[in-house]
Structure 1
Amino acid sequence: MAVPVGHHDRMEADQPERTPDGRYIVVKGRRWRATDPEIPEDVAAGLRRHLMAARRGVAASHRNQDPAAEKLARSRVHTAKVALGERGTPWWEQSLAERRRRWEDGAAELDAAGEPGRRTARSADG
């Protein structure tokens, strides 16, 4: 049975399977580092919006053979993945203060990039 990912108000059926320690999700038999479960849902949703926009940017720049735009888009993908805790220092090795600083800094950097049509990733209260 799948272990729910993240905050307990999320629906278990909508979540991928997790390893017993909760650190990884399993998709088609492959382990991927799980998003930091301490990230507030509104912030995580904003970071995922940035991630998806950046991935679309990678695809578009690749199709248009624009290496500079592709490099920028890949950098934004990386920033979003680090902010979500899916890359970089594992979130379970960081203090809560370090984790909060990681997602707040990543959200601020992505929000400052001013991607069109995007709401900010940072929560309204913080």
Structure 2
Amino acid sequence: MNTDQPPERTPDGHHVVIRGRKWRATDPSVPEETAARLRRHLMAARRAVHSATTADDEQAERAARSRVNRAKIALGERGAPWWEQSDEERRHRWEEGLTSLDAEDDA
């Protein structure tokens, strides 16, 4: 896959196609700065999952997987489909997710 080009999207724009598999696309209404911050949280959480599984630390793995899930929900990639939510619900979803993930970093 060429990382210089965005992934293929389904005609409705709801999913991206990567290596022949459909994945829910990030909500396009998430402001780019917010989406970038959420992606940083997501990548850090994925690294934490890897570290926890390598260390065989089940508690740390559960916490890291919870962070992955919250980041993906905030991005609109999990949870209620973003195309079925009002603009207010969508904004609330990503703001709440980012606030939660930022607060955990500050703890």
Scaled by the length of structure 2, the TM-score of the pair is 0.94
CA apart distance, 1:62? 0.3
- In the alignment, structure 1 residue 30 sits paired with structure 2 residue 45: no
Choose which of 82, 92, 101 in structure 2 pairs with 1:101.
92
- The answer for unaligned runs of 5 or more in structure 1 is 1-12, 117-126
Q: Which 4+ stretches in 1 moved above 4 angstroms?
A: none
Choose which of 31, 34, 42 in structure 2 pairs with 1:40.
31
Structure 2 counterpart of 1:89? 80
**Greater helix proportion:** 2
Structure 2 counterpart of 1:73? 64
Q: CA RMSD in A?
A: 1.3
The share of aligned pairs that are identical, in percent, is 61
- The answer for unaligned runs of 5 or more in structure 2 is none
Counterparts of 2:6 and 2:74, CA distance in 1: 20
Match of 1:89, SS state, is coil
Deviations 1:53-104 (A, max 9, x none): 0000000000001000000000000000000000000000000000000000
Scaled by the length of structure 1, the TM-score of the pair is 0.80
Counterparts of 1:80 and 1:70, CA distance in 2: 15
Counterparts of 1:66 and 1:53, CA distance in 2: 17
User: Against the structure 1 CA distance between its residues 89 and 97, is the aligned structure 2 distance closer, same or farther, given a 3 Å change threshold?
Assistant: same
Choose which of 78, 95, 101 in structure 2 pairs with 1:110.
101
Deviations 1:15-49 (A, max 9, x none): 10000000000000000000000000000000000
User: Against the structure 1 CA distance between its residues 65 and 86, is the aligned structure 2 distance closer, same or farther, given a 3 Å change threshold?
Assistant: same
